[in-house]
Structure 1
Protein backbone atom coordinates (compact mmCIF):
# COMPACT_ATOMS: atom_id res chain seq x y z
CA UNK A 1 0.00 0.00 0.00
CA UNK A 2 1.30 3.45 -0.88
CA UNK A 3 0.50 6.17 1.64
CA UNK A 4 -0.86 9.42 0.20
CA UNK A 5 1.11 12.65 0.43
CA UNK A 6 0.55 14.50 3.69
CA UNK A 7 0.07 13.32 7.25
CA UNK A 8 -1.29 9.86 8.12
CA UNK A 9 -2.49 9.13 11.65
CA UNK A 10 -0.77 6.41 13.66
CA UNK A 11 -3.12 4.67 16.09
CA UNK A 12 -2.64 5.19 19.81
CA UNK A 13 -0.34 2.56 21.28
CA UNK A 14 1.57 2.12 18.02
CA UNK A 15 4.95 3.35 16.83
CA UNK A 16 5.87 4.29 13.27
CA UNK A 17 9.31 4.38 11.67
CA UNK A 18 10.68 5.21 8.26
CA UNK A 19 12.74 2.18 7.19
CA UNK A 20 15.57 2.63 4.71
CA UNK A 21 16.92 -0.42 2.86
CA UNK A 22 20.50 -0.19 1.63
CA UNK A 23 22.59 -2.50 -0.55
CA UNK A 24 25.93 -2.99 -2.24
CA UNK A 25 26.51 -5.17 -5.29
CA UNK A 26 30.29 -5.40 -5.13
CA UNK A 27 32.74 -5.47 -2.23
CA UNK A 28 33.68 -1.99 -0.98
CA UNK A 29 37.28 -0.82 -0.76
CA UNK A 30 39.02 -2.20 2.31
CA UNK A 31 39.00 0.29 5.19
CA UNK A 32 41.64 0.40 7.91
CA UNK A 33 40.67 -0.83 11.35
CA UNK A 34 40.57 1.88 13.99
CA UNK A 35 42.76 1.34 17.05
CA UNK A 36 41.06 -0.63 19.78
CA UNK A 37 41.12 -3.83 21.80
CA UNK A 38 38.34 -5.60 19.90
CA UNK A 39 37.94 -9.06 18.43
CA UNK A 40 35.12 -10.95 16.76
CA UNK A 41 33.84 -14.27 18.07
CA UNK A 42 31.48 -16.58 16.20
CA UNK A 43 28.65 -17.84 18.41
CA UNK A 44 28.16 -21.45 17.39
CA UNK A 45 24.55 -22.46 18.13
CA UNK A 46 23.99 -19.38 20.30
CA UNK A 47 22.28 -19.92 23.63
CA UNK A 48 18.93 -18.14 23.69
CA UNK A 49 19.52 -16.31 26.99
CA UNK A 50 22.91 -15.07 25.76
CA UNK A 51 21.43 -13.87 22.47
CA UNK A 52 18.49 -12.12 24.13
CA UNK A 53 20.80 -10.34 26.58
CA UNK A 54 23.16 -9.08 23.87
CA UNK A 55 20.27 -8.16 21.55
CA UNK A 56 18.70 -6.15 24.38
CA UNK A 57 21.92 -4.39 25.40
CA UNK A 58 22.73 -3.42 21.81
CA UNK A 59 19.26 -2.61 20.52
CA UNK A 60 16.85 -1.76 23.30
CA UNK A 61 17.54 2.00 23.14
CA UNK A 62 16.81 1.87 19.39
CA UNK A 63 13.56 -0.09 19.91
CA UNK A 64 14.76 -3.41 18.52
CA UNK A 65 11.82 -5.54 19.56
CA UNK A 66 11.06 -8.26 17.01
CA UNK A 67 13.37 -10.90 18.50
CA UNK A 68 12.34 -9.97 22.05
CA UNK A 69 8.77 -10.94 21.18
CA UNK A 70 9.71 -14.37 19.78
CA UNK A 71 9.09 -17.57 21.67
CA UNK A 72 12.08 -19.81 22.42
CA UNK A 73 11.14 -22.06 19.51
CA UNK A 74 10.82 -19.15 17.07
CA UNK A 75 14.10 -17.59 18.15
CA UNK A 76 15.98 -20.89 18.04
CA UNK A 77 14.63 -21.65 14.56
CA UNK A 78 15.87 -18.27 13.39
CA UNK A 79 19.34 -18.01 14.93
CA UNK A 80 20.17 -21.72 14.66
CA UNK A 81 19.19 -21.91 10.98
CA UNK A 82 21.98 -23.35 8.83
CA UNK A 83 22.32 -20.22 6.69
CA UNK A 84 22.44 -17.79 9.62
CA UNK A 85 25.64 -16.81 11.43
CA UNK A 86 25.80 -14.89 14.71
CA UNK A 87 28.92 -13.10 15.95
CA UNK A 88 29.80 -11.09 19.04
CA UNK A 89 32.17 -8.16 19.22
CA UNK A 90 34.33 -8.89 22.26
CA UNK A 91 35.86 -6.08 24.32
CA UNK A 92 38.05 -6.97 27.31
CA UNK A 93 36.37 -10.36 27.52
CA UNK A 94 32.80 -9.03 27.31
CA UNK A 95 30.37 -9.39 24.41
CA UNK A 96 29.50 -5.80 23.43
CA UNK A 97 28.42 -5.96 19.79
CA UNK A 98 26.12 -8.08 17.65
CA UNK A 99 26.50 -9.10 14.01
CA UNK A 100 23.97 -11.45 12.43
CA UNK A 101 24.34 -12.54 8.80
CA UNK A 102 21.69 -14.36 6.76
CA UNK A 103 22.81 -16.24 3.64
CA UNK A 104 19.49 -18.03 3.05
CA UNK A 105 18.71 -16.24 -0.23
CA UNK A 106 21.04 -17.43 -3.00
CA UNK A 107 23.63 -14.82 -3.96
CA UNK A 108 22.62 -12.51 -1.09
CA UNK A 109 23.80 -11.76 2.40
CA UNK A 110 21.63 -9.70 4.73
CA UNK A 111 23.13 -7.93 7.72
CA UNK A 112 20.09 -8.75 9.82
CA UNK A 113 21.41 -7.18 13.02
CA UNK A 114 24.44 -4.95 13.39
CA UNK A 115 25.31 -2.81 16.38
CA UNK A 116 27.38 -2.15 19.45
CA UNK A 117 26.43 -1.31 23.01
CA UNK A 118 25.98 2.36 23.96
CA UNK A 119 29.42 2.70 25.58
CA UNK A 120 31.08 1.79 22.26
CA UNK A 121 29.19 4.19 19.99
CA UNK A 122 31.64 6.61 18.30
CA UNK A 123 34.73 4.72 19.54
CA UNK A 124 35.59 3.00 16.25
CA UNK A 125 34.08 -0.30 17.36
CA UNK A 126 31.32 -0.01 14.75
CA UNK A 127 33.91 0.46 11.99
CA UNK A 128 35.85 -2.57 13.24
CA UNK A 129 32.64 -4.61 13.27
CA UNK A 130 31.67 -3.45 9.77
CA UNK A 131 35.11 -4.35 8.43
CA UNK A 132 34.65 -7.88 9.78
CA UNK A 133 31.09 -7.99 8.41
CA UNK A 134 32.36 -7.18 4.92
CA UNK A 135 35.02 -9.89 5.13
CA UNK A 136 32.42 -12.45 6.20
CA UNK A 137 29.60 -11.37 3.88
CA UNK A 138 31.49 -11.31 0.57
CA UNK A 139 32.16 -14.99 0.03
CA UNK A 140 30.76 -18.09 -1.62
CA UNK A 141 29.13 -16.47 -4.63
CA UNK A 142 27.52 -13.56 -2.79
CA UNK A 143 26.61 -10.85 -5.29
CA UNK A 144 24.66 -8.51 -3.02
CA UNK A 145 24.90 -7.48 0.62
CA UNK A 146 22.05 -5.52 2.14
CA UNK A 147 20.87 -4.05 5.41
CA UNK A 148 18.00 -1.95 6.66
CA UNK A 149 17.78 0.70 9.33
CA UNK A 150 15.05 2.98 10.58
CA UNK A 151 14.39 6.32 12.19
CA UNK A 152 14.39 4.67 15.64
CA UNK A 153 18.08 3.77 15.21
CA UNK A 154 21.06 5.96 16.02
CA UNK A 155 20.80 9.18 13.98
CA UNK A 156 24.15 8.45 12.29
CA UNK A 157 23.19 4.93 11.14
CA UNK A 158 22.27 5.77 7.52
CA UNK A 159 25.39 7.91 7.04
CA UNK A 160 27.56 5.16 8.56
CA UNK A 161 26.14 2.56 6.16
CA UNK A 162 26.65 4.91 3.21
CA UNK A 163 30.27 5.58 4.24
CA UNK A 164 30.68 1.80 4.37
CA UNK A 165 29.66 1.47 0.72
CA UNK A 166 25.92 0.85 0.88
CA UNK A 167 23.42 2.80 -1.22
CA UNK A 168 19.76 3.28 -0.40
CA UNK A 169 17.30 1.54 -2.72
CA UNK A 170 13.96 1.37 -0.90
CA UNK A 171 12.01 3.21 1.78
CA UNK A 172 9.04 1.92 3.78
CA UNK A 173 6.91 2.88 6.76
CA UNK A 174 6.72 0.32 9.58
CA UNK A 175 3.91 0.49 12.13
CA UNK A 176 3.94 -1.82 15.16
CA UNK A 177 2.69 -2.10 18.71
CA UNK A 178 4.86 0.04 20.99
CA UNK A 179 7.08 -2.49 22.84
CA UNK A 180 7.20 -0.22 25.89
CA UNK A 181 3.45 -0.51 26.40
CA UNK A 182 3.28 -4.30 26.46
CA UNK A 183 6.35 -4.90 28.66
CA UNK A 184 8.67 -6.02 25.85
CA UNK A 185 10.91 -3.01 26.61
CA UNK A 186 11.18 -0.78 29.70
CA UNK A 187 8.89 2.24 29.76
CA UNK A 188 11.80 4.71 29.93
CA UNK A 189 13.59 3.30 26.86
CA UNK A 190 14.08 5.27 23.63
CA UNK A 191 13.04 8.70 24.86
CA UNK A 192 13.65 9.98 21.33
CA UNK A 193 10.44 8.13 20.34
CA UNK A 194 7.55 9.36 22.53
CA UNK A 195 5.08 6.71 23.66
CA UNK A 196 1.47 7.71 23.03
CA UNK A 197 -1.18 5.79 24.95
Structure 2
Protein backbone atom coordinates (compact mmCIF):
# COMPACT_ATOMS: atom_id res chain seq x y z
CA UNK A 1 0.00 0.00 0.00
CA UNK A 2 1.35 3.41 -0.96
CA UNK A 3 1.76 5.87 1.91
CA UNK A 4 1.24 9.51 0.96
CA UNK A 5 3.02 12.12 3.09
CA UNK A 6 1.93 15.74 2.86
CA UNK A 7 4.00 18.67 4.10
CA UNK A 8 2.03 21.71 5.24
CA UNK A 9 2.99 25.21 6.31
CA UNK A 10 1.89 28.61 7.49
CA UNK A 11 4.03 31.56 6.43
CA UNK A 12 2.27 34.27 8.40
CA UNK A 13 0.80 34.45 11.87
CA UNK A 14 -2.41 35.68 10.20
CA UNK A 15 -2.79 32.30 8.47
CA UNK A 16 -3.92 30.68 11.72
CA UNK A 17 -7.69 30.10 11.88
CA UNK A 18 -9.74 29.64 15.03
CA UNK A 19 -11.44 26.40 16.04
CA UNK A 20 -14.67 25.70 17.83
CA UNK A 21 -14.39 25.38 21.61
CA UNK A 22 -13.95 21.78 22.80
CA UNK A 23 -16.88 19.98 24.41
CA UNK A 24 -14.94 19.48 27.65
CA UNK A 25 -12.85 21.77 29.83
CA UNK A 26 -9.20 21.77 28.75
CA UNK A 27 -6.03 23.62 29.65
CA UNK A 28 -2.98 23.70 27.35
CA UNK A 29 0.20 24.06 29.39
CA UNK A 30 3.88 23.88 28.53
CA UNK A 31 5.83 21.06 30.17
CA UNK A 32 8.78 23.23 31.15
CA UNK A 33 10.91 20.45 32.63
CA UNK A 34 12.61 18.45 29.87
CA UNK A 35 11.59 15.02 31.14
CA UNK A 36 12.52 12.06 28.89
CA UNK A 37 10.05 9.85 30.78
CA UNK A 38 7.15 12.20 30.13
CA UNK A 39 8.21 12.78 26.53
CA UNK A 40 8.28 9.05 25.85
CA UNK A 41 4.95 8.55 27.60
CA UNK A 42 3.26 11.13 25.36
CA UNK A 43 4.91 9.76 22.23
CA UNK A 44 3.75 6.19 22.87
CA UNK A 45 0.34 7.06 24.35
CA UNK A 46 -0.58 9.20 21.34
CA UNK A 47 1.37 7.43 18.60
CA UNK A 48 1.08 3.79 19.65
CA UNK A 49 -1.99 3.25 17.47
CA UNK A 50 -0.51 5.10 14.46
CA UNK A 51 2.85 3.41 13.88
CA UNK A 52 4.94 6.08 15.58
CA UNK A 53 8.01 3.88 15.95
CA UNK A 54 10.97 6.08 15.06
CA UNK A 55 11.77 6.97 18.68
CA UNK A 56 10.92 3.69 20.39
CA UNK A 57 14.58 2.69 20.43
CA UNK A 58 15.80 6.01 21.84
CA UNK A 59 17.74 5.84 25.08
CA UNK A 60 17.05 8.09 28.03
CA UNK A 61 20.06 10.21 26.97
CA UNK A 62 18.75 10.55 23.41
CA UNK A 63 15.38 11.74 24.73
CA UNK A 64 17.12 14.19 27.07
CA UNK A 65 19.26 15.55 24.24
CA UNK A 66 16.24 16.06 22.03
CA UNK A 67 14.22 17.85 24.69
CA UNK A 68 17.16 19.94 25.90
CA UNK A 69 17.74 21.24 22.38
CA UNK A 70 15.07 23.94 22.60
CA UNK A 71 12.09 21.68 21.88
CA UNK A 72 8.88 22.73 23.62
CA UNK A 73 6.17 20.28 24.69
CA UNK A 74 2.64 21.67 25.08
CA UNK A 75 0.13 19.38 26.75
CA UNK A 76 -3.66 19.56 26.79
CA UNK A 77 -5.09 18.51 30.18
CA UNK A 78 -8.65 17.74 31.20
CA UNK A 79 -9.06 17.75 34.98
CA UNK A 80 -5.35 17.05 35.41
CA UNK A 81 -5.27 14.17 32.92
CA UNK A 82 -3.21 14.48 29.71
CA UNK A 83 -5.50 14.52 26.67
CA UNK A 84 -3.02 15.29 23.90
CA UNK A 85 0.14 17.15 23.08
CA UNK A 86 2.16 19.07 20.52
CA UNK A 87 5.91 19.21 20.24
CA UNK A 88 7.54 22.33 18.76
CA UNK A 89 11.09 22.15 17.39
CA UNK A 90 12.82 25.39 16.37
CA UNK A 91 14.86 25.22 13.18
CA UNK A 92 17.80 27.33 11.96
CA UNK A 93 15.83 29.13 9.24
CA UNK A 94 13.46 30.97 11.62
CA UNK A 95 11.02 28.11 11.19
CA UNK A 96 9.31 25.99 13.82
CA UNK A 97 8.33 22.42 13.06
CA UNK A 98 5.43 20.78 14.84
CA UNK A 99 7.21 17.44 15.13
CA UNK A 100 4.51 15.57 17.06
CA UNK A 101 0.82 16.31 17.45
CA UNK A 102 -2.13 14.24 18.55
CA UNK A 103 -4.65 13.16 21.14
CA UNK A 104 -4.80 10.22 23.50
CA UNK A 105 -7.53 7.78 22.40
CA UNK A 106 -9.91 8.64 25.25
CA UNK A 107 -9.90 12.33 24.21
CA UNK A 108 -10.80 11.87 20.55
CA UNK A 109 -14.18 13.05 19.30
CA UNK A 110 -14.49 15.81 21.91
CA UNK A 111 -13.44 18.76 19.78
CA UNK A 112 -9.97 18.95 21.32
CA UNK A 113 -7.94 18.52 18.13
CA UNK A 114 -8.71 21.91 16.64
CA UNK A 115 -8.37 23.68 19.98
CA UNK A 116 -4.97 22.10 20.71
CA UNK A 117 -3.69 22.80 17.20
CA UNK A 118 -4.63 26.47 17.45
CA UNK A 119 -2.90 26.76 20.84
CA UNK A 120 0.23 24.92 19.65
CA UNK A 121 0.52 26.87 16.41
CA UNK A 122 0.12 30.17 18.25
CA UNK A 123 2.95 29.10 20.58
CA UNK A 124 5.08 28.22 17.55
CA UNK A 125 4.55 31.72 16.19
CA UNK A 126 5.59 33.36 19.49
CA UNK A 127 8.32 30.84 20.40
CA UNK A 128 11.08 33.46 20.07
CA UNK A 129 9.46 35.44 22.90
CA UNK A 130 10.46 32.62 25.28
CA UNK A 131 14.00 32.10 23.89
CA UNK A 132 16.18 35.24 24.08
CA UNK A 133 18.29 35.74 21.00
CA UNK A 134 16.16 33.60 18.73
CA UNK A 135 14.95 35.16 15.49
CA UNK A 136 11.17 35.62 15.32
CA UNK A 137 9.32 32.78 13.65
CA UNK A 138 8.68 33.27 9.95
CA UNK A 139 7.26 29.83 9.14
CA UNK A 140 5.49 26.99 10.95
CA UNK A 141 5.37 23.60 9.29
CA UNK A 142 4.50 19.93 9.86
CA UNK A 143 3.83 16.76 7.96
CA UNK A 144 1.15 14.11 8.04
CA UNK A 145 0.67 10.86 6.17
CA UNK A 146 -2.24 8.68 5.16
CA UNK A 147 -1.56 6.40 8.14
CA UNK A 148 -2.23 9.17 10.67
CA UNK A 149 -5.63 9.68 12.29
CA UNK A 150 -8.43 10.19 9.76
CA UNK A 151 -9.15 13.73 11.01
CA UNK A 152 -5.51 14.93 10.95
CA UNK A 153 -5.26 16.44 7.46
CA UNK A 154 -8.69 18.09 7.64
CA UNK A 155 -7.76 19.67 10.98
CA UNK A 156 -4.49 21.10 9.62
CA UNK A 157 -6.21 22.53 6.55
CA UNK A 158 -9.05 24.01 8.62
CA UNK A 159 -6.54 25.78 10.87
CA UNK A 160 -4.92 27.53 7.89
CA UNK A 161 -2.05 25.23 6.96
CA UNK A 162 -1.40 24.79 3.23
CA UNK A 163 0.12 21.78 1.48
CA UNK A 164 3.46 22.70 -0.13
CA UNK A 165 4.81 19.24 -0.97
CA UNK A 166 3.48 15.70 -1.37
CA UNK A 167 5.59 12.54 -1.46
CA UNK A 168 4.79 8.85 -1.81
CA UNK A 169 6.51 6.18 0.31
CA UNK A 170 8.88 8.37 2.31
CA UNK A 171 11.62 6.26 3.98
CA UNK A 172 10.37 5.23 7.40
CA UNK A 173 6.80 4.66 6.21
CA UNK A 174 7.30 1.00 5.35
CA UNK A 175 6.30 -0.68 8.63
CA UNK A 176 4.19 -3.79 8.26
CA UNK A 177 1.59 -5.41 10.47
CA UNK A 178 -0.22 -4.26 13.57
CA UNK A 179 0.53 -1.06 15.41
CA UNK A 180 2.80 -1.40 18.46
CA UNK A 181 0.30 -0.10 20.99
CA UNK A 182 1.05 2.35 23.80
CA UNK A 183 3.85 0.37 25.52
CA UNK A 184 6.03 -2.65 24.78
CA UNK A 185 3.93 -5.80 24.71
CA UNK A 186 0.62 -3.97 24.94
CA UNK A 187 -0.36 -4.54 21.35
CA UNK A 188 -2.96 -2.44 19.57
CA UNK A 189 -6.14 -1.34 21.30
CA UNK A 190 -9.51 -2.49 19.97
CA UNK A 191 -10.33 -0.53 16.84
CA UNK A 192 -6.71 0.55 16.28
CA UNK A 193 -5.56 0.72 12.67
CA UNK A 194 -3.57 -2.14 11.15
CA UNK A 195 -1.59 -2.61 7.97
CA UNK A 196 1.59 -1.03 6.73
CA UNK A 197 2.52 2.30 7.92
CA UNK A 198 3.58 5.44 9.47
CA UNK A 199 5.96 8.06 10.76
TM-score by length of 2: 0.79
Q: After superposition, what is the alpha-carbon deviation per residue over 1:84-129, rounded to whole angstroms, capped at 9, x for unaligned?
A: 1112111111112111001132310111111111122221111111
Gaps of 5+ in 2: 129-135
Question: What is the aligned-residue RMSD (CA, Å)?
Answer: 2.7
Which one has the largest radius of gyration? 1
Structure number having the greater strand percentage: 1
Q: After superposition, what is the alpha-carbon deviation per residue over 1:120-142, rounded to whole angstroms, capped at 9, x for unaligned?
A: 22211111111211221112421
1:138 maps to 125
Q: CA separation in 2, counterparts of 1:41 and 1:95?
A: 10
1:164 maps to 159
Q: CA separation in 2, counterparts of 1:177 and 1:184?
A: 16
2:115 maps to 128
**CA deviation after TM superposition for structure 1 residue 74, in Å:** 1.4
Map 1:163-182 → 2, pairs under 5 A: 163-172=158-167, 173-174=169-170, 175-178=173-176
Q: CA separation in 2, counterparts of 1:51 and 1:67?
A: 10
Map 1:39-54 → 2, pairs under 5 A: 39-54=27-42
TM-score by length of 1: 0.80
2:62 maps to 74
Matched, 1:22 2:5: no
Deviates more, 1:174-183 or 1:55-64: 174-183
Gaps of 5+ in 1: 1-9, 11-15
**Cα distance change of structure 1 residues 29 and 41 upon mapping to structure 2, 3 Å threshold:** closer
On the 8 A contact 2:46/2:104 being kept in 1, the answer is yes
